[in-house]
Amino acid sequence: MKLTKISDGCENKSCPAVYETDRGTFVVQGYVISDPQALKQLGLPVGESAVEVPADLLKGNHVVAE
């Protein structure tokens, strides 16, 4: 899978980010949700996980310059 960073929250490589793949999908890097109540609300099936990212990341305020 080839990843292309399209949005990130900071200059270093350890901040939340969004990547486009060569498979027509997106990968989101963020903070793992570990709050039991939030996980219960999500009701995630086996094999899925959830991450939290700053709202600005998904609103396009941190687009990576090409």
Is residue 5 within 8 Å of 17, Cβ to Cβ?
Answer: yes
Residue 64 lies in a domain: no
If one counts the domains in the chain, the total is 1
Q: What's the pLDDT score for residue 52?
A: 93
pLDDT digits (tens, 9 = 90+) for 6-29: 887 676 667 888 999 999 999 999
**9: domain range?**
3-58
Q: What's the pLDDT score for residue 14?
A: 73
Residue 63 lies in a domain: no
pLDDT digits (tens, 9 = 90+) for 35-44: 999 999 999 9
- Interatomic CA distance for residues 28 and 5, integer angstroms: 10
- The DSSP code for 46 is T
